[in-house]
Amino acid sequence: MKCLITDHVHPYLLEFFSSRQIRYTYEPNITQEETQNLLKHYELLIVNSKIKVNEALIAAGPNLKVVGRLGSGTDGIDLESLAAKDIEFVRTPEANANAVAEHAVGMLFGLSNKLVQCDADVRKQIWHREKQRGFEIAEKTIGVVGFGNTGSRFAKKMSGLSNKVVCYDKYVGVSDKNSITIDEVSMETLQKEADVISFHVPLTEDTRRYVNKSFFEKCKPGVIIINTARGGILNTQDLVDALQRGNVGGACLDVFENEKPNTFSERERTMYGKLYAFPNVVLSPHVAGWTFESYFKIANVMCEKFDQII
């Protein structure tokens, strides 16, 4: 059995394949076209977000038996085509869930305490304490949209900080997850009550640009938005407009609709320029799940799941 690995992986995964006598080709810089041309020689395929497992790619792998997705996302994966060809699909959403949850908490506290501005000022030997007065998160109501691996971990962390935590999930019950007390509410109630709303949902046709002008208008005035899920669930222009109007009081964003600045259109360049200029916005480059620990955990969980099916 042969495996094509199309992105960077922890050495533990390579050691696993060697111990199972699985031959592998490690090509972390491979392109979509190169993957498609080579796939006929492989039974296993490991991807991250770079390679799109679409109908054309699947058709190019007549011997394909298993596709492994490093991480949690299924956008870019044609699940119907995989199922139609009886190709097993595995992913590792539990492996970096804690990393994402910690990052979301960190961004929120960075925003509330103006840490980005404070850091920049101190480095310039500027000492304006009153200008950098922050606000406390304790006693705020935290809304969590999506209560899977990451959402439940974020909720658990926030519930230990004297916060009321309310959650909405269209598919998953939340009452007994992680043994924490959470109020499961409707989306309408969450929007009315939450001072902070954190999103932990996949990008699907149901969620694409779901967080938009209409969504913000139903929220508590001054709500803080956290998105560490997928950039496509949030309408960036509508967020910029809501920040300008004050409907949204701040935002923490690790993911974006377009994560390739060198491809920005003029409209996007202007829009993102406005977003970057807000002092009440904290940004990071899609690294929430990108810790040293999660790097190993993703490989380890993938090995455990492969062990059950190969």
pLDDT score recorded for residue 175: 58
Residues 135 and 272 placed together within one structural domain of the fold: yes
pLDDT score recorded for residue 304: 96
Q: What is the pTM of this model?
A: 0.94
Residue of 34, 193, 268, 286 with catalytic role? 286
Q: Catalytic site residue 20?
A: no
Residues 172 and 244 placed together within one structural domain of the fold: yes
Question: Residue 148: which CATH number?
Answer: 3.40.50.720
Q: Catalytic site residue 269?
A: no
Confidence of residue 131 (pLDDT cuts 50, 70, 90): very high
Residues 29 and 69 placed together within one structural domain of the fold: yes
Q: What percent of the chain has pLDDT over 70?
A: 98
Mean pLDDT of 176-203: 88
pLDDT tens per residue across span 245-297: 999 999 999 999 999 999 999 999 999 999 999 999 999 999 999 999 999 99
Residues 251 and 200 placed together within one structural domain of the fold: yes
Domain hosting residue 90, numbered range: 2-95+292-309
Residues 170 and 223 placed together within one structural domain of the fold: yes
pLDDT score recorded for residue 180: 64
User: Per the structure, how many domains does the chain have?
Assistant: 2
Residues 173 and 25 placed together within one structural domain of the fold: no
pLDDT score recorded for residue 176: 54
pLDDT score recorded for residue 73: 86
Task: Please spell the DSSP secondary structure of the chain, one letter per residue.
Answer: -EEEE-S---HHHHHHHHHTT-EEEE-TT--HHHHHHHGGG-SEEEE-SSS-B-HHHHHT-TT--EEEESSS--TTB-HHHHHHTT-EEEE-TTTSHHHHHHHHHHHHHHHHTTHHHHHHHHHTT---TTTT-----TT-EEEEE--SHHHHHHHHHHHTTT-EEEEE-SS---TTGGG---EE--HHHHHHH-SEEEE-----TTTTT-BSHHHHHTSPTTEEEEE-S-GGGB-HHHHHHHHHHTSEEEEEES--S---GGG--HHHHHHHHHHHH-TTEEE-SS-TT--HHHHHHHHHHHHHHHHHH-
Residues 157 and 210 placed together within one structural domain of the fold: yes
Q: Catalytic site residue 23?
A: no
pLDDT tens per residue across span 48-72: 999 999 999 999 999 999 999 999 8
Residues 115 and 237 placed together within one structural domain of the fold: yes
Residues 121 and 217 placed together within one structural domain of the fold: yes
Residue of 10, 153, 200, 230 with catalytic role? 230
Confidence of residue 101 (pLDDT cuts 50, 70, 90): very high
Mean pLDDT of 117-121: 96
Residue of 259, 269, 293, 304 with catalytic role? 259
pLDDT at 120 over 80: yes
